[in-house]
Structure 1
């Protein structure tokens, strides 16, 4: 029971503490909103609104001022006092521990104060905007008025430079001056925002007008005088070139120039009405095209001069190449009787012949074009320049081909020289074998000699064939060379083995009487030696001496090498 009472007491204490905390929070909120309310009441909004009184309080300005003033008075006389009552109600509710009600009342009060803050901020911003708009537009209008006088003066003093467009620009200045009067009316009636918008439009229009007026005299002069004069001069130059034999008719410039002259006349009419943008585009197009025309005419003049100085040289170069190729052609016909030409060589030859013929035909066409007036010199020049390039390339190919056919004879002579050399080499091998003191020559050496000799004969047959096929000659020559080199190598090796065998046997004879086994092996080696089995004989003798005196074979080989040197 006691514990139950203590628990109740503790709960009550906790509730009291919680209530005190919530009440403290409510009081703090009331104090904060009260301070906020007092801060708003102390603000000098009325003096800020008083700045507007320096303007004309009529029309739009008066309406705005009345609206701002009414809203501020509502804040001071109604909304802020209502906030005071709300704060008192919230404080009483907190005293009675009606925290939900207190919180609701305080939340509503905070919302009202936020709304008031936003309204004050908006009012002051609108006031600043109105005053800034009035000051800015007044400053701009003070610059616009003298600017319009300067523009009108510039037109009146240079009327001849504007032609009929003078009335157009005067009308635009009149419209701007009328806009200035409209601004004055709007300002007098207190419509400063509309007046500021009007001034901004006037500034933009005046900037455009100022640019047009300053640029117009030069545009008008270019369109009416300068460009027509340039076109007349260009047309006269074209006629003079035609009289001097230049082929410019294919360019069709005369018709194009007439079209541009008509477009310039239309441009002058547009300028008299004050329209410059489209005319400027046409003028830029004509200026660029005149430049292009002069470049093309200059190109035609250079081409004519080029042909007058280079065409005879082109004829000479082509004739020289043609004559040189004719000599080559006769040589090829002669060589074809003695030599076989590969397909690739004949293709190169026929390609040269075809290109030379084509250039000669083209030369006739060019000569005919020069006689007639149908083809432009620039086009003919391109053909001649390309022809020079082809001649240079053909000369290189022709020289390479001539060297190639000249090499046919050279290769034939070299093949015969190599054949003679190999014949001498075989003779030397046979002579070397006869002079050697060996018991006899193994059959495989005679067989290789016969093979090499037959291959040499095969080379002779291929060389004597008509027409001569050098690829076949080179192939048979290579096979014969390989066979001759092989027989020389094998013969030298066989003789070295035979001589070394003799040396080994002679060296081993010192042990013969004292070593029956060695004597038997040497006897076998001598038998093989006499049977022309020199490799086996050397192997038998070397084995026998190495068993008795290790390292003896190397010493015998070294001695033989020194003697051979």
Structure 2
């Protein structure tokens, strides 16, 4: 019985919870219905109708009339069809909520919200377009009020300055008349209610009038350039060309005069055209013509400067080439004389041959330049450029020539230097041998004797080479370098050997005080003395020093610090 009662209580509680949830959901639906109803009423009372009445008061026609009808139909559709449909959807949602059909009620509410959102966008678009229409009418009239004074101002400019425009004044007046006609068309559009077309029309008028004004403003200067300035420049340039030709300048006067006559013909054609109509191409042509005239002036100026340059520098260049040629002849004789005594290196001979060819080419270029000056086929400007190239080439030749001559002349000094080196090294060898004799050593090691013999032999070889005809200084210099190295090495070895021998004697003398006390030391010292008398001074020093260090550490270093060679 207790379990059954629990089931009953549980079922009742669940039913109560379900009812409460249902009531809450139904309350929410009712609240949402009220919100959407208020939204619907807000849409219904929007001032769209009043705005349409404001527009209707205007004189509408054409595209404006079509737009107005579309706006009116759209607003009527919202009021008569979509808002009543919303009312039905809201009613169905309330009924569904009463029956706790929450899902169906929410579906109807979502449909209502979608319709209202769409209506909001539609109303916003209508009001925006209505505002644009009203603004278009207002702004267009304001714009046309600014255009009219500008048109009058340009008419005044033409009237006050007729002499600056010539026959073109008539075409500018016609262009302004067309804009006046366009203004009248604007007012007609406004009277007919074509406000959108009128707005676009006034923008076109402003753009067109701006172009016309720019042309009116630019024309006097353009007309003056084409009627007076440019013809005067062309005539002045023609006179200058003829004068330069009479003075002997090498210019293609026929080609230039023909080009200028063609320019005059084209100029007359363009003058006639701009008096009758606007010709955009004339602006580019005029700029190109002015640029070409300046280009010809610059070319003539360069030709005049080139002639002056040639008159100033050509004679000096001729003298420089002749001097360089004579100088090279002396070098040629010097080389031939040297070749009788010395054997020149292959690189020196190759450089000499290249210089000889270079000199011939310079003489050839100089003669060609002289011939070109005598004829009239080349302009002074091209001849000046050629002269500058030849001058630069001659300068480089002189530098290379001096370098080669100094290099060849150094062969003699190399010979003298080689002889001095031989004498110096002979004295060095003699001094080394004398030092070895005075050293009182038991003997001289074979490797020292051999190196002395080798160096004497090398000296004899060099002396023989120095007596050869022709003398090969390249080979001599190679042997001289070898002699330098060998004698220096021998000097170092002799010095080292004497130091080792003397230090060995001092070490053995110092170690003798310990001989009687240390038999092992006695044995090593005997062996070291034997090596010493066999001329193995380095091994003797190593053995004696090692033996002494074992008995008296640091003694060898002290001996080295106090050692002074007696020879």
TM-score normalised by structure 1 residue count: 0.86
For residues 207-237 of structure 1, what are the alpha-carbon distances to aligned partners after superposition, in whole Å with 9 as ceiling and x for unaligned? 1111111112222222232222212211211
Give the drift of 1:273: 2.9
Q: For residues 462-501 of structure 1, what are the structure 2 equivalents within 5 Å?
A: 462-485=465-488, 488=491
Query: Which residue is equivalent to 1:402?
Result: 405
Partner residue of 2:281 out of 278, 282, 291: 278
Query: Which residue is equivalent to 2:218?
Result: 215
Query: Which residue is equivalent to 2:194?
Result: 191
CA distance in 2, matches of 1:12, 1:524: 128
1:387 aligns with 2:390: yes
What secondary structure does 1:561 align onto? coil
Query: Which residue is equivalent to 1:203?
Result: 206
Query: Which residue is equivalent to 1:303?
Result: 306
**Total equivalences in the alignment:** 563
Give the drift of 1:508: 8.9
Give the drift of 1:380: 1.2
Give the drift of 1:338: 0.9
Partner residue of 1:24 out of 22, 27, 30: 27
Query: Which residue is equivalent to 1:142?
Result: 145
- Is the contact made by 1:505 and 1:541 (CA closer than 8 Å) also made in structure 2? no
Give the drift of 1:85: 5.1
Indicate how the Cα distance of structure 1 residues 371 and 97 shifts in structure 2: closer, same or farther if over 3 A, else same. Answer: same
CA distance in 2, matches of 1:536, 1:114: 115
CA distance in 2, matches of 1:420, 1:95: 138
Give the drift of 1:265: 2.3
For residues 279-338 of structure 1, what are the alpha-carbon distances to aligned partners after superposition, in whole Å with 9 as ceiling and x for unaligned? 101111112222222222111111111111111221222222222111111101110111
Query: Which residue is equivalent to 1:172?
Result: 175
CA distance in 1, matches of 2:398, 2:281: 58
Give the drift of 1:443: 6.0
Indicate how the Cα distance of structure 1 residues 559 and 181 shifts in structure 2: closer, same or farther if over 3 A, else same. Answer: closer
Indicate how the Cα distance of structure 1 residues 45 and 525 shifts in structure 2: closer, same or farther if over 3 A, else same. Answer: closer
Give the drift of 1:271: 1.0
CA distance in 2, matches of 1:67, 1:540: 124
Q: For residues 193-272 of structure 1, what are the structure 2 equivalents within 5 Å?
A: 193-249=196-252, 252-272=255-275
Indicate how the Cα distance of structure 1 residues 114 and 545 shifts in structure 2: closer, same or farther if over 3 A, else same. Answer: closer
Partner residue of 1:370 out of 359, 373, 389: 373
Query: Which residue is equivalent to 1:114?
Result: 117
Query: Which residue is equivalent to 1:38?
Result: 41
What secondary structure does 1:132 align onto? helix
- Is the contact made by 1:441 and 1:532 (CA closer than 8 Å) also made in structure 2? no
Partner residue of 2:326 out of 310, 315, 323: 323
Query: Which residue is equivalent to 1:354?
Result: 357
CA distance in 2, matches of 1:18, 1:537: 118
Indicate how the Cα distance of structure 1 residues 56 and 446 shifts in structure 2: closer, same or farther if over 3 A, else same. Answer: closer
Give the drift of 1:25: 2.1
Indicate how the Cα distance of structure 1 residues 455 and 111 shifts in structure 2: closer, same or farther if over 3 A, else same. Answer: closer
Give the drift of 1:415: 0.6
For residues 349-368 of structure 1, what are the alpha-carbon distances to aligned partners after superposition, in whole Å with 9 as ceiling and x for unaligned? 22222112111110111111
1:344 aligns with 2:327: no
Indicate how the Cα distance of structure 1 residues 528 and 209 shifts in structure 2: closer, same or farther if over 3 A, else same. Answer: closer
CA distance in 2, matches of 1:374, 1:383: 14
Give the drift of 1:538: 6.5
Moved more, 41-50 or 203-212: 41-50
- Is the contact made by 2:251 and 2:379 (CA closer than 8 Å) also made in structure 1? yes
List runs of 5+ in structure 2 lacking aligned partners. none
RMSD, aligned α-carbons: 3.8
Moved more, 537-546 or 120-129: 537-546
Partner residue of 1:182 out of 181, 185, 199: 185
CA distance in 1, matches of 2:156, 2:255: 47
- Is the contact made by 1:137 and 1:199 (CA closer than 8 Å) also made in structure 2? yes
Indicate how the Cα distance of structure 1 residues 433 and 208 shifts in structure 2: closer, same or farther if over 3 A, else same. Answer: closer
Give the drift of 1:62: 5.3
CA distance in 2, matches of 1:92, 1:517: 133
For residues 114-154 of structure 1, what are the alpha-carbon distances to aligned partners after superposition, in whole Å with 9 as ceiling and x for unaligned? 34333332332222111111111111222222322222333
For residues 64-107 of structure 1, what are the alpha-carbon distances to aligned partners after superposition, in whole Å with 9 as ceiling and x for unaligned? 55654565456556654554454344323422334455444434
Query: Which residue is equivalent to 1:335?
Result: 338
What secondary structure does 2:376 align onto? coil
Moved more, 139-148 or 303-312: 139-148
- Is the contact made by 1:366 and 1:380 (CA closer than 8 Å) also made in structure 2? yes
Indicate how the Cα distance of structure 1 residues 541 and 227 shifts in structure 2: closer, same or farther if over 3 A, else same. Answer: closer
CA distance in 2, matches of 1:299, 1:203: 50
- Is the contact made by 1:501 and 1:537 (CA closer than 8 Å) also made in structure 2? no
- Is the contact made by 2:242 and 2:253 (CA closer than 8 Å) also made in structure 1? no
Moved more, 50-59 or 311-320: 50-59
CA distance in 1, matches of 2:523, 2:93: 145
Give the drift of 1:520: 10
1:561 aligns with 2:564: yes
